[in-house]
């Protein structure tokens, strides 16, 4: 009887520690991420999420421990790791002076890829930005800018992408657009490591969730497994009331996918905590 070998994790982290002077940020972090899955690293501000992402993307060296990304060691094969990943930070790294299409073409040329215009047009279509492709990025709404930022990070088809709090500061509708984009990435086979402080974001997107608290993974599992940690709920009949999200989406609808006016100003609420 033959057995199918278990595929290697796309990301493997073993006992990673990191401190800055007397401040211990990571204390023996360990987890694996299955290829083609969405893995959420959930934690409050200061829990060590961004530090860990910087280590895995070779921007920072761990004090102790080992890790591999796409089967490349982050300490000894830094160049290969960087060729295998893309990193999208908390703020969209787009050039406001350029159009959306020009931003994509620029990155494709910097990566020395053939047919940068074709690559840009394909990504604009993939992320529903074709109609806005020839507009300056400065006129984009928050959700459009984030989608463009993620599109730029996918040039060259990296198998692993790190999204560090990708919906910070976005309005509710823009958050949903980014969520749809992240789901599409995983459906296409891309491995996504997502850091977030939003409980609903991890619940909506992640195949597995690791809770990082004070530099340590205190729980790691599927949403169903994590829910089993609590006592069973008492079942009572309660009439379901619409949520604020239901009301908001019912009122604004989908008749303006860009949700910008001619001046580029957002027509959806801004400046609110999306939680």
Quickly list DSSP for 38-95. Answer: EEEEE--TTSSHHHHHHHHTTSS--SEEEEEETTEETTT-HHHHHHHEEEE-SS----
For the stretch 58-74, pLDDT in tens is 999 999 999 999 999 99
Q: Residue 195 sits in a domain of what CATH number?
A: 3.40.50.300
User: Whole domain around residue 55: which residue ranges?
Assistant: 8-86+160-224
Q: Is residue 217 part of a domain?
A: yes
Q: What's the pLDDT at 159? A: 94
Q: What is the pLDDT at residue 15? A: 96
The residue that leads in pLDDT, 115 or 241, is 115
Specify if 100 maps to a domain: no
pLDDT band, very low/low/confident/very high, at 5 (cuts 50, 70, 90): low
Which pLDDT belongs to residue 111?
A: 86
Stated pTM of the model: 0.78
Count of domains in the chain? 1
Q: Reply yes or no on whether the pLDDT at 272 is more than 50.
A: no
Q: Is residue 126 part of a domain?
A: no
- 33 in any annotated domain: yes
The gap between the terminal CA atoms of the chain, to the nearest Å, is 51
User: pLDDT tens digit string along 171-215?
Assistant: 888 788 888 888 988 998 999 999 998 888 999 999 999 999 989
H/E stretch holding 149 reads helix 142-153
Q: Map residue 101 onto helix, strand or coil.
A: helix
**Is the separation of the CB atoms in 220 and 211 below 8 Å?**
yes
Q: How far apart are CA 28 and CA 35, in angstroms?
A: 23
Question: Tell me: the pLDDT tens digits for 154-180?
Answer: 898 899 999 998 888 778 887 888 888
For residue 26, which phi and psi values (nearest 5 degrees)? Answer: -125, 135
186: helix, strand or coil? helix
The residues that bridge with 85 in the sheet, in sequence order, are 160
Residue 70 included in any domain: yes
Q: What is the DSSP letter of 144?
A: H
Residue 39 lies in a domain: yes
> What are the tens digits of pLDDT across the range 128-155?
899 999 999 999 988 888 889 888 988 9
Kindly state the percentage of the chain with pLDDT values over 70: 84
**244 in any annotated domain:** no
**Four-CA torsion 74, 76, 79, 84, nearest 10 degrees:** -40
Does 13 map to a domain? yes
Residue 239 reports pLDDT greater than 90 = no
């Amino acid at each position: 009887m033959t057995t199918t070998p278990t595929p290697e994790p796309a990301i493997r982290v073993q006992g990673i520690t990191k401190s800055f002077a007397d401040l211990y940020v990571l204390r023996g972090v360990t987890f694996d991420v299955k290829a083609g899955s969405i893995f959420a690293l959930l934690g409050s501000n200061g829990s060590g999420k961004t530090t860990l992402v910087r280590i895995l993307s070779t921007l920072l060296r761990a004090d102790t421990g080992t890790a591999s990304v796409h089967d490349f060691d982050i300490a000894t094969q830094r160049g290969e790791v960087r060729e295998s990943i893309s990193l999208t930070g908390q703020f969209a790294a787009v050039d406001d002076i350029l159009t959306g299409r020009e931003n994509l073409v620029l990155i494709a040329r910097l990566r020395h890829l053939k047919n940068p215009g074709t690559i840009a047009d394909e990504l604009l279509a993939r992320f529903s930005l074709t109609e806005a492709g020839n507009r300056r990025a400065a006129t984009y709404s928050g959700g459009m800018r984030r989608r463009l930022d993620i599109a730029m990070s996918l040039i060259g088809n990296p198998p692993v992408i790190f999204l560090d709090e990708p919906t910070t500061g976005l309005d509710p509708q823009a958050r949903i657009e980014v969520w749809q984009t992240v789901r599409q990435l995983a459906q296409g086979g891309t491995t996504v490591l997502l850091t977030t402080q939003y409980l609903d974001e991890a619940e909506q997107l992640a195949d597995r969730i690791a809770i990082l608290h004070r530099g340590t993974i205190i729980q790691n599992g599927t949403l169903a497994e994590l829910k089993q940690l609590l006592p069973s709920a008492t079942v009572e009949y309660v009439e379901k009331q619409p949520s604020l999200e239901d009301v908001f989406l019912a009122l604004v609808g989908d008749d303006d996918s860009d949700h910008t006016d001619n001046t580029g100003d957002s027509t959806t609420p801004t400046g609110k905590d999306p939680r």
